[in-house]
Structure 1
Amino acid sequence: MLTIFEAKRIITMDPSLPIATHIAVKEGRVLGVGPLEELKDLGEYRLDQQFADKYIYPGFVEGHSHALEGAMWKYLYLGYFPRYDPQGKYWDGCQNLVAIQQKLLQQAQQLPAGKPLIAWGFDPVYFDGERLDKAIIDEVVADRPVVVFHANLHLMTVNEAMLRQTNLAQSQIEGVMRTEDGTPNGELREMAAMHAVFEALGQSIFDEVASLETLKQYALAAQRTGITTITDLYNPLSDQGVAVLKEATSQTDYPVRLVPAMAALEWQSSQGIERVQQCQQANTDRLHFGLVKLMTDGSIQGFSARMRWPGYHNGQENGIWNAPPATLKQMVMDYHQAGLQLHIHTNGDEAVELMLDAIEEAQTLWYRPDHRHTLQHCQFISQAQMRRAAKLGVCLNMFVNHIYYWGDIHRQSTLGYSRSRRMQPLRSAYELGIPVAMHSDAPVTPLGPLFSMWCALARRTATDQVLGEHEALSMDQALYAVTLGAAYTLHLDDQVGSLEVGKYADMVVLEHDLYATTPDQLRDMTVHATVVGGQVHVVRT
């Protein structure tokens, strides 16, 4: 027997039938959409009216986030902004270094002697030039290793006890920040420097995605915000990790479809290609392998992104490559020729340029008509670069939440007035015909497609300044970017992202009509329920 869900209004994202009141679901897929009297001939049905006074939209698709969102909350949160964890618990933010010291001390007092203290979410850009270093940590916790991840996960600050367990004092690894006398000050930038800490600890925080509990918490956090398809866009694809991905998504009540991307820098290209192709044989309706994640530069607000002339507005030296440019270009060629899809971290415009060159070279030597390689974040990308992206068939998935969380910093310190207006140029991308999505990069910022839509419509910073109003989206465009647009970048637009016959019956249920609300109402709007393959998951409050 099929089920017909009734709603006050259903937005389908299907241009042939954009609005309806009923949707018929059979065997987890959409069988029909329209008025009830037109669906009765589909067969014996059960009318489900639990959403009769609510609004249904295609389930949101989060095209760039990390399963670490499900793991980080077992560590100490030191972010500037307050946040909610996957269980809905409220966590205060830390607005000064004294508050951070107090939380570190309190946490240390609760841990067994000698046990490392790990914290996350710290962002130095909010502290008016004050920089967390090993001395500030050692003032309150010196008897154990301390590791504080920065919000962007591209930097960390450690104390002296942690440094002593590494060889970083003698190392020439790029990214080890030092005092004037050459002594490490505790701040480590990008993967090579941070890897030394992981080796000393005997664990990498990025490996914690290989945990069933992590994936459960991640799914719960996604479901609370209306997401029905979510990525893990930096997964090592270890044996244990793949086994856990299969186990989690095989559970009938798992409330999301999961799309992991292999961390390319952790594999030789030939081995990585073989690994992804092997994993693809295990694809199911809830688990989809096939993506490859390539890291180029760092973050603009962390001054580790690679910037073209004139560089950083405040004169900071240029950022860091996560691998030599020649190596990165060769990896693009290798995975492109293997027929795999690349999702490429590019924050600065120099990184964008390098990857456009690499994709153009790969397409010239080995043409693929529908590769859908996607540049991720695109915090700063020029109009000329976007024209190249359009010509090359490149998708853009923009980190739109960045406008709120770091827009003020970019206006003042990293980019200046003119260039800060070009951050996340979503409207320009739409007008150039580029496939566009937008994302949260959780745990860097919280999961929340409705909040991302608000960012795209309002383009307001944390101090309520409008940043680049000419790049704002309409409601239609913003909704498309978190549904069908994001699905397209994942090569899943034939399965999710809209409510069309034959596609998975994945929906988000809201109390409100998005087209009858103001942009400001979006940012605090809550989700009533999601439906994945016809199975209802009511959000727990």
Structure 2
Amino acid sequence: MTSTQPPHAGDVIYTARLIRTANPSHPTATAIAVRDGKVLSVGTLEDCQQWGITTIDRQFEDKVLTAGFVEAHSHVMTGMYSTFPFVGWFGRHMPDGRWVDAVKSTDELVERLRTIAAEKESGLPIVVAGFDPIYLDTERLSCHHLDEATTQHPIFVYHASGHLATVNSFVLNKYDIGPNHPAPGVGYHGDGQPNGELREPAAMALARDEFRLLGRVVFAPETLDGFGQTMRNAGITTATDLGNVFHNNEEVLKTVLETTEKESFPVRMASVPRILGGPDGIDEMVSRVLTVRTHSHDKMHMPVVKMVLDGSIQGFTAVVNWPGYITGEDHGLFLFPPEQVVDLLRPFHQAGIGIHCHCNGSSTSGVFIDAIEQLLREHAWLDHRHTITHAQLITHAQMRKAKNLGMSANFFVNHVWFWGEQHRDFTVGPDRASAMNPCATADRIGLQYSFHTDSPVTPAGHLHTMWAAVNRVTPHGSVLGPNERIEVDRAFHAVTIDAAYQLHMDHLVGSLEVGKYADMTVLEQDPYEVDAMAIRDVPVWGTILGGIPSKSTAQR
């Protein structure tokens, strides 16, 4: 029987070799009908034709369509590589699709900086990003290494984690960063002289002009465009900028809203404000967030807020339980006093605003979970979905408690590949490294979870996170935590509907169901059918956003 509703202009049916919907009631299909940017029907071509649609687009008949990948923890800074040179240990694609090779030594970093300096007028800043000294078996990067590149320019090397930077002596002298500086997070040599390492925002902000330059680039339309292009190239249709201050600046907010609303912007963005300051200003921030939410549009949402409670494990600034780090200096740092966390979060919880809290260390996860328990005792909310983001060293007891409280975890499972060997050998040791990002245990306990890339910390792309969760392989071929591996179907749902759930957006995205946005990832192969070790190598054709195809520009 054919529908009695007349067809709409723009109605289209896409056919494919296979469609994976992330909808357990109807997990696969071969055709999908789109009307007004939303899913009208999913099933066979005959099912979809019952709506009277005559336009059939067969360009994907040899491809696999899936529910659009949802990235619940990334950053607009992903687009900064349109401006700042990339100097990471693993090569990656830039926003425009170019591939940039890795930097594998301090000498190679110094040479790249020397080349950049030769083309810059003296005194102008040099900012590069993506470096991480933990991979090197030589002396840790310091101001003296950077001085070998240039003494005529301020150098700011922004680490891959986003929690540290290393600067040269030009910067130390420019801002009088000397012995016994009162700011927390300033690194020192054994002789008491600063070594150029600045840990966490309070210390990085001492390099005032260079740190502000990072901020200006983040707010630029070019960076937003680069963010969108990078996500599209990775097959992501909804991407979260988890932790920004766009809501504080009307001009910046206007730029974000206008940029994301452009037809050419290729991704839906979940913009998540970061909680800053003390308890006295929180009520004002809640009011501002609620006001800004009213400006949301189809490609710009503000579903939750974020608190950052500690640093990074590989930077030794995450706060971990006894016995602490196995090697290196413990620089674990709470970015808010634990005793203030409940007071800071209470107004958001009471206003019905979901909270995602950055917790890398086990101690930090415990503080956040206890705070949510207190808030739920005070103010019941059955559908809060408060999320421990990263949750890398979360304990089994903490997971059981979080599950009982209705919380979620967003695991940083890419760490198994990018830093697993370093965690095993240098940060927390073999047993705790094997238990990091414990997806299988979360399933056994019943704790809802997704996983993320934290791009630009690791490259955008959920085929890689799926691969990491399924295999848990390190660069030298070890399997780190074999009992925490999961099946590909579970991984697929973690990067689609489960991620959307944590953002309170599962009524809009995350699965291909009637009435939801027609957002799809277009793949050349089926991740379910290829060898498990080949999942990350499945080519991404691009995406379909609201029914409109958008081809990747990434070089293969």
Question: Which residue of structure 2 aligns with residue 147 of structure 1?
Answer: 156
Q: What is the CA-CA distance between 1:378 and the residue it aligns to?
A: 1.1
Question: What TM-score does the superposition give when structure 2 sets the normalisation length?
Answer: 0.95
1:42 paired to 2:51: yes
Identity of aligned residues (%): 39
Amino acid at match of 1:292: V
Residue type of the alignment partner of 1:402: H
2:264 to 250, 253, 257: 253
The one-letter code matched in structure 2 to 1:247 is E
**Among 447, 457, 461, which residue is 2:470 paired with?**
457
What residue number does 1:494 align with? 507
AA matched with 2:514: V
1:290 deviation in Å? 3.2
Q: How does 1:365-380 map to 2 (within 5 A)?
A: 365-380=378-393
Asked if structure 1 preserves the Cα contact closer than 8 Å seen for 2:163 and 2:201, the reply is yes
| Contact 2:416–2:480 (CA under 8 A) maintained in structure 1 | yes
Number of the residue aligned with 1:177: 187
Paired AA for residue 393 in structure 2? F
- Match for residue 343 of structure 2? 330
User: Contact between 1:343 and 1:373, CA under 8 Å: does it hold in 2?
Assistant: yes
Residue 379 of structure 2 is aligned to residue 394 of structure 1 = no
CA distance in 2, matches of 1:255, 1:101: 36
8 Å CA contact 2:82, 2:222 repeated in 1? no
Q: Counterpart of 2:428?
A: 415
User: Secondary structure, in 3 states, of the residue corresponding to 1:244?
Assistant: helix
Give the match's secondary structure for 1:350: helix
What is residue 516 of structure 2 aligned with on the other side? 503
Q: Are 1:227 and 2:233 counterparts?
A: no
Pick aligned residue for 1:403 from 400, 413, 416: 416
Deviations 1:496-528 (A, max 9, x none): 010000100000111112221111211222211
State the Cα distance separating 1:129 from its structure 2 match.
Answer: 4.7
Distance in 2 (alpha carbons) for counterparts of 1:302 and 1:533: 40
Amino acid at match of 1:249: T
CA offsets, 1:185-216, max 9 Å, x none? 1111111111221x344715244332211111
Higher mean displacement: 309-318 or 10-19 = 309-318
* Distance verdict in 2 for CA 1:204–1:270, change over 3 Å: farther
Question: Counterparts of 2:526 and 2:157 in 1: how far apart (Å)?
Answer: 41
- Tell me the equivalent position of 1:305: 318
Name the CA distance, whole Å, in 2 between partners of 1:433 and 1:44.
42
Residue of structure 2 equivalent to 1:80: 89
Tell me what 1:467 maps to: 480
State the distance in 1 between where 2:382 and 2:167 align: 47
- How far off its partner does 1:167 sit? 4.2
Question: Aligned letter for 1:393?
Answer: G
Aligned to 1:444: 457
SS at match of 1:293: strand
The answer to whether structure 1 residue 162 and structure 2 residue 171 are counterparts is yes
Distance in 2, Cα, partners of 1:63 & 1:400: 13
Question: Which string of whole-angstrom CA distances, capped at 9 and with x for unpartnered residues, describes residues 63-93 of structure 1?
Answer: 1000101013421222111111112212121
Task: Go from structure 1 to structure 2 and tell me whether the alpha carbon gap of 1:106 and 1:254 turns closer, same or farther (over 3 Å shift).
Answer: same
Contact 1:378/1:399, CA 8 A, preserved across alignment: yes
Q: Which amino acid aligns with 1:164?
A: N
Please, which runs of 5 or more residues in structure 2 have no aligned partner? 1-7
Q: Does 1:91 align with 2:100?
A: yes
Task: Tell me how far 1:239 sits from its aligned partner.
Answer: 2.1
- DSSP 3-state at the match of 1:514: coil
Q: 1:317 to 1:41 in 2, by over 3 A?
A: closer
Alpha-carbon deviation of 1:431?
A: 2.2
Unpaired runs of 5+ residues, structure 1, are none
Alignment of 1:187 with 2:197, yes or no, is: yes
Give the number of equivalent residue pairs: 540
User: Which segment is superposed worse, 433-442 or 345-354?
Assistant: 433-442
Query: Could you tell which deviates more after superposition, 380-389 or 137-146?
Result: 137-146
Post-superposition offset of 1:318: 4.7
- Bigger shift: 180-189 or 106-115? 180-189
Q: Which residue of 1 aligns with 2:300?
A: 287
| Cα shift at 1:366 | 1.2
Task: Output the CA distance in 2 between the equivalents of 1:338 and 1:48.
Answer: 45
Q: What residue number does 1:317 align with?
A: 330
How far, CA to CA, are the matches of 2:175 and 2:251 in structure 1? 27
Tell me, in whole angstroms, the C-alpha distance in 2 between the residues paired with 1:329 and 1:165: 39
Deviation at 1:266, TM superposition (A): 5.4
State the Cα RMSD in Å: 1.5
SS across alignment from 1:103: helix
| Alpha-carbon distance in structure 1 between the residues aligned to 2:218 and 2:547 | 27
